Amino acid sequence: MHFAHPDRLWLLLLVPLAAGFLWISAWQARRALSRFGSPELLARAGMAVAGGRRFLKSILFFAGVVLLILALAGPQWGATREKIERKGVDVVVVLDTSLSMDARDVAPSRLIKSKESIVRLIDMMKGDRIGIVVFAGSSFVMCPLTLDYNAARMFLDIIDTGIVPEPGTDIGHALQTASELFPENAGKHKVVVLMSDGENLESGESGGPLDMAEKLSEQNVRIYTVGVGGPQGAEIPLDSGTKVKKDREGRTVITRLDEETLRKVALTGEGKYVRLDTRSTGDELASIYKGIAGMDKKTFDEEYQINYEDRFYWFVGFALLCLVLEILIPERKKRRRR
């Protein structure tokens, strides 16, 4: 026999304590009655207690209590074997960690807002694998594809704008790094979610963003883009906000959202573009995941689960029977007649 809630069996320890308490109470009651009158007089008055009946009633009462506690613990026997398949899509989030992501035109900052949105995306996932790539002037894999969503959230916590030592913004290289995470036999179950302010400042050996987007599209990778920030632009804070970034001529650098590039990347990758700004409700990535959820899914893992049959109702039935019999059995002896 198997119990669904074995931690509730500790309640059985209360049964002997209750039995001891009731025995002491009965003993004190007998002493009190013996002072009131002789056993023969009590029997004639109908106040005498039948010892055998009282014992039987106690047995039935505590048997009912024990059975109810066992029922509460969820007894189970008889099992069935169920095959469970984990199906989903491989999703790689490509997160911009360049210095411009510290801009505060999106509160509390572009990067923090992006990380909060990624957490919401992970919370929506059901069976999909998640991977994370961070980039600035170069890129690297922060979290490989995994079904462990808690691990992905832990990696997100330590991401900041200083995590990639090489300055700049190379979206093309980041997309190439993301493509290397997908298995060769992944088929059409591949998605990239690019989150950036869109200011591409580098074009290395991998080529520009549109060139890499086209290559990924040929590999059946769907690309969604999220523009973080506003087109009006914002200053880039330095030294915890006490200073702002300036160019070589001493003018304040203004970083602006480049929506045109991000829209073209999404269009090339047969995906969708959304903006994440001060007016965002937090549901922007929900619309993206809706598209991901509609894609064909592949099987990542198979396992077998043992399901036990609940049998608590047997214990409840016998417990009620014991308690009803305990109530019906009289405790006192019949009154003696002369």
Average pLDDT over residues 271-286: 80
Q: Which of 3-12, 19-28, 170-179, 193-202 has the lowest mean pLDDT?
A: 19-28
pLDDT for 276 equals 87
| CA-based radius of gyration for the chain | 36
Average pLDDT over residues 277-296: 80
pLDDT for 297 equals 78
pLDDT for 335 equals 52
pLDDT for 21 equals 77
Model pLDDT for residues 10-29, shown as the tens digit of each residue: 888 888 887 887 777 767 76
Q: What percent of the chain has pLDDT over 70?
A: 83
- Do strands 75-88 and 298-310 pair parallel, antiparallel, or not at all (unpaired)? antiparallel
For 162, other C-beta atoms within 10 Å of its C-beta total 10
Average pLDDT over residues 269-296: 83
Residue type, 317: G
User: pLDDT higher for 116 or 86?
Assistant: 116
The single residue listed with the structure tokens 């049964």 is 15
284, pLDDT greater than 80: no
Average pLDDT over residues 147-173: 92
Confidence of residue 329 (pLDDT cuts 50, 70, 90): confident
- Do strands 90-96 and 129-135 pair parallel, antiparallel, or not at all (unpaired)? parallel
Domains of the chain: 2-74+311-328 (no CATH), 85-301 (3.40.50.410)
3-state class (DSSP) for residue 289: helix
pLDDT for 127 equals 84
User: pLDDT higher for 111 or 303?
Assistant: 111
Beta bridge partners of 275: 227
The answer to whether residues 331 and 55 touch, using CB atoms and an 8 Å cutoff, is: no
pLDDT for 155 equals 95
- Alpha carbon dihedral 122, 128, 129, 130, in 10-degree steps, equals -30
pLDDT for 231 equals 77
User: pLDDT higher for 100 or 47?
Assistant: 100
User: pLDDT higher for 251 or 132?
Assistant: 132
pLDDT for 44 equals 55
Average pLDDT over residues 298-326: 81
Model pLDDT for residues 37-83, shown as the tens digit of each residue: 555 555 555 555 556 777 788 888 888 889 999 999 888 887 777 66
Contacts of 229 (CB under 8 A, 6+ apart): 103, 105, 106, 110, 197, 255, 256, 257, 276, 277
Beta bridge partners of 140: 134
pLDDT for 188 equals 76
**To the nearest whole number, what is the mean pLDDT of the chain?**
83
pLDDT for 304 equals 62
User: pLDDT higher for 247 or 225?
Assistant: 225
Confidence of residue 195 (pLDDT cuts 50, 70, 90): very high
Average pLDDT over residues 214-224: 93
Average pLDDT over residues 249-270: 90
